[in-house]
Structure 1
Amino acid sequence: MSYLDYQATTPLAPEALAAMLPWLESQHANPHSPHREGRRAKAAVEFARDQVAALLPPGGRIAFTSGATEALNWAIKGTAGPITTLATEHAAVLDTAAAEAAQGRDVTVLPVGADGIVDPDTVARTGLVAAMLVNNEIGVIQPIAALAGAAHAAGALLLCDAVQGYGRVAIPDTVDLIAISAHKIHGPKGIGALWIRDGVTLAPLLHGGGQEAPGRSGTLSPALCAGFGVAAQLMADRRDQDAAHVDRLWALARDRLGPGWTINGATDPRYHGNLNVRREGLDVNRLMSDLRDIAFSAGSACASGSGRSSHVLRAIGLTETQARSSVRLGFGRYTTETDLAAAIDAIAAAAEGQWP
């Protein structure tokens, strides 16, 4: 199996698994308990918190969550005032904003250009601007620093969905809220975090024991926290090595696809571990059926069962037919050049074979 779906999830790093195992096998204490074993578990959680925070701006605090979806819901529902977001955002943002709109909150969804990038000057009076650092479907990098400046000029906060960019693309120090997820950086599923700038207060999303200082309730898993922490540390330690490897894979994939393929979205600025391409007349369902030993996607895994074409591709101006003739190829740390070359050759040949 060739795995080319890194935007949906990444392979678990062996080092992250090793850090988790003791907390799954024998160290089962509740990190919120006051006894010695509970304090040991708490120490592991706080060590992981420091590891995760090392890749985030100074001047804030982290609350662990069940994932980025919870973090984004909390950030949006925990603030007040109008919401401004982008047409290419993840469903966790767009659907949450829509739910808030149904409750009477003003919501503005800004368009993007054919390159997938928003014009920061379109931000007007608002209370919260929610924007993705690296788009999960087409990999383009939004001008987050400029958007933060526009948000602050409007008296608003900037929420950055950094799920795809955390550890890979610099996050500006001027943002106010950051949502991240462990399983997109070779950590475990089931844990994420919301970074909250000092001085920013949020209404709680989950009510209960208030175990996390900024107001998040629920018992934390030391195993998941430990795995997240080690995954974050590896992202820091391997940043240059991973980036160089991804750049080589990007160049290889583009070269081997051959003519007839068009890249969706800007090629610069873009995270090179995401190659979203289309071919006129391509039957993507047939392609995926013919290539069952290659894991790739036609868009966001979170919307794969909806039956709809990608809202991101339609937002950058693609027709319904063009959007349905597109595939997303994601690769990274554990993708070898040999495996990628073979997979790309198979994709190109299968696509070519659709025409007699």
Structure 2
Amino acid sequence: MRTVYMDYAATTYVKPEVLEEMMPYFTQKFGNPSSFYGISRETKMAIDKARGQVAKGLNCDVNEVYFTGGGSEADNWAIKGIASAHRKKGNHIITTKIEHHAVLHTCEYLEKNGFDVTYLDVNEEGFIDLEELKNAITDKTILVSIMFANNEIGTIQPIKEIGQICRERKVFFHTDAVQAVGNVPVDVKEMNIDLLSLAGHKVYGPKGIGALYIRKGIKIDNLIHGGGQERARRAGTENIASVVGLGKAIELATNDLEGHMESLSALRDRLIDGILEKVPYSYLNGPRGDKRLPGNVNVRFEFIEGESILLSLDFEGVCASSGSACTSGSLDPSHVLLAIGLPHEKAHGSLRLTLGDGSTEEDVDYVIEVLPGIIERIRNMSPLWSDFVKKGEK
């Protein structure tokens, strides 16, 4: 049986070029970068090189890049660090209802510790209202944290405009760009971004490594205390091999970004059109076109639940998800789908298919071929579908 991987938003494979670059740092070049002998200088130089590769991909200075243990740590550091460092100025933070849980749960933690958080609404396609953002900012606001692109429905926010509003109001702007980096252009200078989080395993790098961009001059408290690593900002002996892998992955991901976007968008639209055409009562969640991540497809099917679809797709060799991999064990409907206005029963019937560098037209066509039969079979067992048919509404 063939295997078709369509869950690139959950994680990617490590590209051979990335693994090749990493390998010597597991066995030969293993010196602690904080030591002073030759093999340690080699590892320090490797970290410096990787920092430069990430900085080039974001269009920032090398000294504005700090390596972390992943995207969630970077989100936590950005939000908690700004909140702690600027508490005397204010205790108000603004975010959205469709953020990754690394942001939402961090904000909930801060609410229990004396901070006020405004959770902005989004429209039916997942976009915030810029006027609502402007009106939400007060003299107590210290941070706005809005994700660059949504991990479930692919919505790309107007980041440059959000950053401009924050810059004008003298409020720090953090964006979780875990899904955006390597998939769409990201320029922290042009887009008025103060802090940005990214993760290696979303860009064909290793898991357990990420980075936080902190614009030069921003006061932010440390999240992890200990040694003087990362210029005394993030303690802990560096994960050298993974840092090297992240740098190489970012370099590869940004080398031909335009070509990557073009090919992936074509596959995405082929998959969307094929599903909507062949499966009755199916609908796209999120926007169309260039305001959607190139590889993101999120569709809902009425009268059934997404978990049943996933099991059937898995039987056919298709790897997919019903939403964020970080909440895949939850029986609750996606908070993102609820935020865009879907009732519980419709949110439960959604399927996320995300494409990547290993995706092909044959993969897309295979899913379009097997999915209609799966939906029909599950619907025939659904009381909701049976009632719908009995009413003569089919």
TM over 0.5: yes
Q: Which residue of 2 aligns with 1:328?
A: 352
- The residue correspondences of 1:1-356 to structure 2 (distance < 5 A) are 1-59=3-61, 61-80=64-83, 81-123=91-133, 124-125=137-138, 126-172=141-187, 173=189, 174-213=192-231, 215-257=233-275, 258=277, 259-260=279-280, 261-268=282-289, 269-292=291-314, 293-356=317-380
CA contact (8 A) 1:245 1:332 kept: no
The residue type equivalent to 1:147 in the other structure is: I
Q: Percent identity?
A: 39
What is the DSSP-based 3-state SS (H/G/I as helix, E as strand, rest coil) of the residue aligned with 2:125? Answer: coil
Is the deviation greater in 307-316 or in 163-172?
A: 163-172
Unaligned 5+ runs, structure 1: none
CA contact (8 A) 1:61 1:197 kept: yes
CA contact (8 A) 1:245 1:333 kept: no
CA contact (8 A) 1:63 1:214 kept: no
The Cα offsets for residues 236-272 of structure 1, whole Å up to 9 and x where unpaired, read as 2231221122022112202321243211011141112
Unaligned 5+ runs, structure 2: 84-90, 381-394
The residue type equivalent to 2:302 in the other structure is: E
The Cα offsets for residues 26-76 of structure 1, whole Å up to 9 and x where unpaired, read as 221112212111110000111011111111133561000000100110000
Q: Distance in 2 between matches of 1:142 and 1:34?
A: 46
CA contact (8 A) 1:299 1:328 kept: yes
Residue 282 and residue 24 in structure 1: after superposition, are their counterparts in 2 closer, same or farther (change >3 A)?
A: same
Is the deviation greater in 185-194 or in 213-222?
A: 213-222
Q: How many residues align?
A: 356
What is the DSSP-based 3-state SS (H/G/I as helix, E as strand, rest coil) of the residue aligned with 1:231? Answer: helix
The residue type equivalent to 1:234 in the other structure is: L
Q: Distance in 2 between matches of 1:8 and 1:296?
A: 9
**Alpha-carbon deviation of 1:214?**
5.9
**Alpha-carbon deviation of 1:337?**
1.3
**Alpha-carbon deviation of 1:152?**
2.3
The residue type equivalent to 1:307 in the other structure is: L
Runs of 4+ in 1 over 3 A off after TM superposition: none
Residue 68 and residue 214 in structure 1: after superposition, are their counterparts in 2 closer, same or farther (change >3 A)?
A: farther
Q: Distance in 2 between matches of 1:134 and 1:229?
A: 21
Q: Distance in 2 between matches of 1:120 and 1:300?
A: 26
What is the DSSP-based 3-state SS (H/G/I as helix, E as strand, rest coil) of the residue aligned with 2:23? Answer: helix
Higher helix share: 2
**Alpha-carbon deviation of 1:132?**
0.6
Q: Distance in 1 between matches of 2:10 and 2:343?
A: 24
What is the DSSP-based 3-state SS (H/G/I as helix, E as strand, rest coil) of the residue aligned with 1:55? Answer: helix
Is the deviation greater in 236-245 or in 89-98?
A: 236-245
Residue 171 and residue 240 in structure 1: after superposition, are their counterparts in 2 closer, same or farther (change >3 A)?
A: closer
The Cα offsets for residues 199-241 of structure 1, whole Å up to 9 and x where unpaired, read as 1121010000130026111111221011111111111223122
Is the deviation greater in 337-346 or in 160-169?
A: 337-346
What is the DSSP-based 3-state SS (H/G/I as helix, E as strand, rest coil) of the residue aligned with 1:115? Answer: coil
CA contact (8 A) 2:304 2:379 kept: no
Q: Which residue of 1 aligns with 2:387?
A: none
What is the DSSP-based 3-state SS (H/G/I as helix, E as strand, rest coil) of the residue aligned with 1:64? Answer: strand
Residue 341 and residue 214 in structure 1: after superposition, are their counterparts in 2 closer, same or farther (change >3 A)?
A: farther
Larger Rg: 2
Q: Distance in 1 between matches of 2:372 and 2:320?
A: 13
Q: Which residue of 1 aligns with 2:383?
A: none
The Cα offsets for residues 75-102 of structure 1, whole Å up to 9 and x where unpaired, read as 0011133110000000000000000010
